[in-house]
């Protein structure tokens, strides 16, 4: 980090209070946040039975064990002596069979409901994926009309007003308004133009005005829409590392309890009595963590679904989960913290130079500059009525802006070289040509920087003629958003190519914790690596090709849908609304996912304690009357105790589905306070609820047996 200019932002009040955020609201498109609707429930019920296929059930070892128990009791219901002489009443076998069946079905229903939302959105996206005809340019320059499925990477197509964009690509010529509502749900069209970071277009969107030339960047079946459909319908969902670890622990507990139950008959035989197979199966089902086992997959699917509701496409559940543990967020200034539309607002001559000379060379350097900043220079000249001779630039070679040189310009036919760019870069270029630096250049550049603007220096050969004042503004509400991140314990670092004075002004206005000025693409990667070397997880937002390496390096890379294809391919999340501050919602959803899984795991384990007090005394009281002291719930009989525990075990899964789908409400607080809150609500609550529930069920069961 020694070679980077890294500074702290302004000081912030420590006791600032903000209202707690709730991340369970309807999305801004007005879509419903209902956990279930009739069509979804019907489909989920159908899927619940289809998922009984052992080939599917074995993916969830806990519920697979319950299904095996169901099959055994089903056999015993019709052949009571199938596994040896049995003295248990047939009705008990049938009752246990039905309870176990519903336990498995409820677990399948939870997963199917979670998958239902993603499939509904995938179906909606598939409707927008049609066979579109494309106007493809042939090598001789003529246009041929071909189906979009015939397009390949590198093909160039023309899309005019009213036509659908046939595939993912980049605008290489022109400017147009594009309706992206099929992808983002946002009705307002967006401007797509050649040059800059807003040249990426998505197949299936519609041009509503003007026309553009697009270079196709994906082959059929590999488009952004294809990937999006596959991801939202869960076809590519992979379990996260934490989910795999928890699943391993739960599977290990299941194996331990299976060993206990299998060996238990040897001990009971020694005590002089025997336990029937249905009773042993009931004991096993109550001992193993069926509640969290039945909901674990649904929690993971619902977590990705909540991200999708905010119009963020997560490429993996791992990315969502990692967002919950983020310590540092790296933010690009332009287009992220500021609006990004830096426009020329003033021409300032330096030394003894005249305004007309400055305007002439500024125009020459900008005539072929397709960036928004370059076009704004010519617009400002037109607004001010300033004249220039464009014939001077005829047949000249345009020099594009590069992050390494931080300059652009023209090499004229007569040998003259004109450059505009960062003040220090232009100064070095002029000095290398043997020129001198005007005495008031730094003073006027610093004046622009102190006002939050960006100074661009303009030079021809070895002479600097003046400065272009580019203005950019901080997006409203940024300070409050960064304060929310600070409450979550997350540090914000702004990276910008601006000089230190401009960067400091923007950093102070936005309220970031730190900023890095004159930052090049490789510097962003170094910042991320430095933070990661300190044991921190880092998130990065960006939209440009130069952000792609940093997005790939970050633990969570959030690319803007309006950005370049390279940025979207490098990131593991894409924001369809192109709102960089949405990383706050992503972080909150990640934390919510981790909290929900932890809360329901705590609740499940606490549940089991109550079930032990219900079923174990009931099994042993006949042979060991002294164990009656453990029957603290005063359950009616051993049979009713076993059935009550089993029924509660089955019913608690569907009762927790809304919580698994909606997620535990996240409120920024310290980890110790969060732990106490979870232990109180889901630990103590998880112990009390089963005692009450099992007792109530026992009272009803006692009426029938």
Give the tokens for residue 35.
């956990």
Single out the residue of 117, 150, 146, 116 nearest to residue 134, CA to CA: 146
Structural domains of the chain, count: 4
Instruction: Tell me: do 238 and 110 sit in the same domain.
Output: yes
Range of the domain at 633: 38-62+102-119+234-305+590-702
Same-domain status, 347 and 469: yes
350 and 467 assigned to the same domain: yes
Known binding residue 53? Answer is no
Percent pLDDT > 90 in the chain is 15
Cα–Cα dist 114/309, whole Å: 13
| Residue 401 assigned ligand-binding role | yes
The residue from 473, 495, 528 where one domain ends is 473
Residue 427 lies in a domain: yes
Residue pair 467/453 in contact by the 8 Å Cβ criterion = no
Give the strand order in the sheet containing 417-422: 343-349, 463-471, 454-460, 417-422, 407-411, 397-399
Residues 298 and 387 in one domain: no
| 265 and 392 within one domain | no
Residue 487 sits in the same domain as residue 469: no
Q: Is 210 annotated as a binding residue?
A: no
DSSP letter (8 states) at residue 160: E
Q: Does residue 704 sit in helix, strand or coil? A: coil
Contact 587, 486 (CB under 8 A): no
The residue ranking higher by pLDDT, 22 or 326, is: 326
Catalytic residue selected from 332, 513, 577, 636: 332
Same domain membership, residue 248 and residue 187: no
C-beta contacts of 222-229 below 8 A and 24+ residues apart: 223/167, 223/168, 224/168, 224/568, 224/574, 225/125, 225/128, 225/129, 225/168, 225/183, 226/129, 227/315, 228/125, 228/183, 228/313, 229/122, 229/125, 229/126, 229/129
Q: What are the residue ranges of helices labelled H in 310-440? A: 317-323, 355-366, 372-384, 423-432
Categorize the per-residue pLDDT at 117 as very low, low, confident or very high, splitting at 50, 70 and 90.
low
Nearest Cα neighbor of 592 from 299, 178, 245 is 299
Rounded to whole angstroms, how far apart are CA atoms 464 and 459?
4
End of a domain among 576, 610, 637?
576
Is 555 known to sit in a ligand binding site? no
In a domain, 22, yes or no: no
Same domain flag for 206 and 264: no
Structure confidence at residue 14 (pLDDT)? 26
pLDDT at 628 over 80: no
Shared domain for 176 and 56, answered yes or no, is no
Q: Does the residue 581 lie in any domain?
A: no
DSSP 468-518: EEEE--BPTTHHHHHHHHHHTT-EEEEE-SS-HHHHHHHHHHHT-SEEESS
Rounded distance between C-alpha atoms, residue 606 and residue 690, angstroms: 9
Q: Do 468 and 350 share a structural domain?
A: yes
Enter the DSSP assignment of 681. I
Q: Is 454 annotated as belonging to a binding site?
A: no
pLDDT at res. 570: 84
Give the CATH number, domain containing residue 174. 2.70.150.10
Identify the domain boundary among 169, 187, 218. 218
Contact (CB, 8 A) for 536 and 328: yes
CATH number at residue 555: 3.40.50.1000
In a domain, 85, yes or no: no
Confidence of residue 119 (pLDDT cuts 50, 70, 90): low
Does the annotation list 345 as a binding residue? no
- Residue 11 belongs to some domain of the structure: no
The torsion region of residue 537 among left (phi > 0), alpha (psi -120 to 50) and beta comes to beta
- Which one has a higher pLDDT value, 225 or 346? 346
pLDDT (0 to 100) of residue 424: 92
Q: Is residue 205 assigned to a domain?
A: yes
Crossing angle for the helix pair 500-510 and 478-487, nearest 10 degrees? 70
In-domain check, residue 7? no
Q: How far apart are CA 437 and CA 20, in angstroms?
A: 54
- Residues 275-285, mean pLDDT to the nearest whole number: 86
Which DSSP string corresponds to 265-326? HHHHHHHT----HHHHHHHHHHHS-HHHHHHHHHHHHHHHHHHHHTTEEES-HHHHHHHTT-
Ligand-binding annotation for 79, yes or no, is no
Give CA–CA dist 665/605, Å, rounded.
21
Range with the lowest mean pLDDT among 45-54, 186-195, 274-283, 354-363?
186-195
- The whole-model pTM stands at 0.63
The mean predicted confidence, pLDDT, of the chain is: 80
DSSP 178-202: EE-HHHH---S-EEEESSTT--EE-
Q: Are 47 and 674 in contact (CB under 8 A)?
A: no
User: Are 320 and 280 in the same domain?
Assistant: no
332 belongs to the catalytic site = yes
Q: What Cα–Cα distance (Å) separates residue 28 from each residue in 20, 187, 310, 666, 686?
A: 19, 12, 8, 19, 35
Among the residue ranges 53-62, 217-226, 231-240, the one predicted with the least confidence is: 231-240
Confirm if 504 and 454 have CB atoms less than 8 A apart: no
Q: What is the pLDDT of residue 182?
A: 61
DSSP 10-51: ----TT---PPP---SPPTT-----S--HHHHHHHHHHHHHT
Residue 143 vs residue 317, higher pLDDT? 143
Task: Flag whether 687 is in a domain.
Answer: yes
The CATH number assigned to the domain holding 366 equals 3.40.1110.10
pLDDT of residue 242: 74
> Does residue 114 sit in the same domain as residue 241?
yes
Residue showing tokens 């082959």: 219
């Amino acid at each position: 980090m020694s070679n980077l200019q890294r500074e702290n932002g302004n000081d912030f009040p420590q006791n600032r209070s903000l209202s707690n955020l709730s991340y369970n609201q309807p999305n801004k498109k007005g879509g419903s946040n209902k956990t279930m609707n009739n069509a979804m429930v019907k489909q989920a019920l159908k899927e619940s039975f289809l998922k009984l296929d052992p080939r599917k059930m074995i993916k969830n070892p806990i519920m697979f064990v319950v299904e095996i128990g169901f099959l055994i009791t089903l056999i015993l219901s019709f052949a009571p002596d199938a596994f040896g002489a049995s003295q248990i009443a047939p009705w008990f076998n049938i009752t246990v069979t039905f309870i176990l069946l519903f336990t498995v079905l409820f677990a399948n229903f939870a997963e199917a409901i979670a998958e239902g939302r993603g499939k509904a959105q995938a179906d909606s996206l598939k409707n927008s994926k049609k066979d579109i005809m494309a106007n493809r340019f042939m090598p001789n320059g003529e246009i041929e009309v071909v189906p979009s499925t015939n397009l390949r990477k590198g093909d160039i197509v023309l899309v005019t007003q009213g036509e659908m964009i046939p595939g993912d690509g980049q605008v290489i010529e022109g400017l147009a308004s594009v309706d992206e509502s099929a992808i983002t749900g946002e009705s307002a069209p967006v401007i797509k133009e050649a040059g800059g970071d807003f040249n990426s277009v998505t197949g299936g969107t519609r041009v509503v005005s003007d026309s553009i030339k697009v270079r196709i960047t994906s082959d059929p079946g590999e488009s952004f829409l294809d990937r999006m459909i596959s991801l939202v319908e869960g076809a590519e969902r992979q379990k996260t590392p934490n989910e795999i670890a928890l699943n391993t622990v739960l599977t290990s507990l299941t194996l331990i309890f299976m060993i206990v139950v299998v060996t238990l008959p040897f001990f009971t035989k020694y005590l002089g009595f025997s336990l029937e197979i249905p009773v042993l199966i009931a004991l096993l089902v109550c001992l193993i963590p069926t509640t969290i086992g039945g909901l674990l997959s649904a929690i993971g699917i619902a977590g990705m679904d909540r991200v999708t509701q905010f119009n963020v496409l997560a490429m993996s559940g791992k990315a969502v989960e990692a967002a919950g543990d983020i310590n540092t967020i790296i933010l690009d200034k332009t287009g992220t913290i500021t609006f990004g539309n830096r426009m020329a607002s003033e021409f300032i001559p330096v030394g003894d130079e005249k305004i007309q000379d400055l305007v002439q060379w500024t125009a020459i350097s900008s005539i072929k500059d397709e960036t928004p900043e370059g076009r704004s220079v010519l617009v400002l000249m037109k607004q001010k009525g300033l004249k220039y001779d464009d014939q001077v630039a005829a047949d000249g070679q345009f020099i594009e802006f590069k992050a390494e040189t931080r300059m652009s310009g023209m090499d004229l036919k007569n040998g003259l070289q004109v450059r505009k760019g960062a003040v220090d870069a232009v100064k070095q270029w002029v000095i290398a040509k043997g020129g001198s630096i005007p005495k008031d250049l730094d003073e006027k550049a610093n004046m622009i920087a102190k006002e939050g603007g960006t100074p661009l220096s303009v030079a021809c050969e070895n002479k600097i003629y003046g400065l272009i004042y580019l203005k950019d503004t901080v997006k409203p509400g940024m300070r409050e958003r960064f304060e929310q991140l600070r409450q979550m314990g997350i540090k914000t670092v702004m990276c910008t190519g601006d000089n230190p004075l401009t960067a400091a002004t923007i950093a102070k206005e936005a309220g970031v914790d730190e900023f890095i000025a004159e930052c090049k693409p490789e510097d962003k990667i170094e910042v991320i690596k430095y933070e990661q070397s300190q044991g921190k997880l880092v998130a990065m937002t960006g939209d440009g090709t130069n952000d792609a390496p940093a997005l790939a390096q970050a633990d969570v890379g959030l690319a803007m849908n309006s950005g370049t294809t390279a940025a979207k391919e490098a990131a593991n999340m894409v924001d369809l609304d192109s709102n960089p501050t949405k990383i706050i919602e992503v972080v909150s959803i990640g934390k919510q996912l981790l909290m929900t899984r932890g809360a329901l795991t705590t609740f499940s384990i606490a549940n089991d304690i109550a079930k032990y007090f219900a079923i174990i005394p009931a099994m042993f009281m006949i042979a060991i009357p002294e164990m009656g002291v453990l029957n603290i719930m005063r359950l009616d009989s051993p049979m009713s105790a076993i059935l009550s525990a089993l029924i509660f075990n089955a019913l608690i899964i569907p009762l927790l589905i809304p919580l698994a789908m909606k997620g535990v409400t996240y409120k920024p607080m310290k980890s110790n306070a969060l732990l106490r809150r979870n232990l109180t609500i889901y630990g103590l609550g998880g112990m009390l609820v089963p005692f009450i529930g099992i007792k109530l069920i026992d009272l009803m069961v006692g009426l029938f047996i």
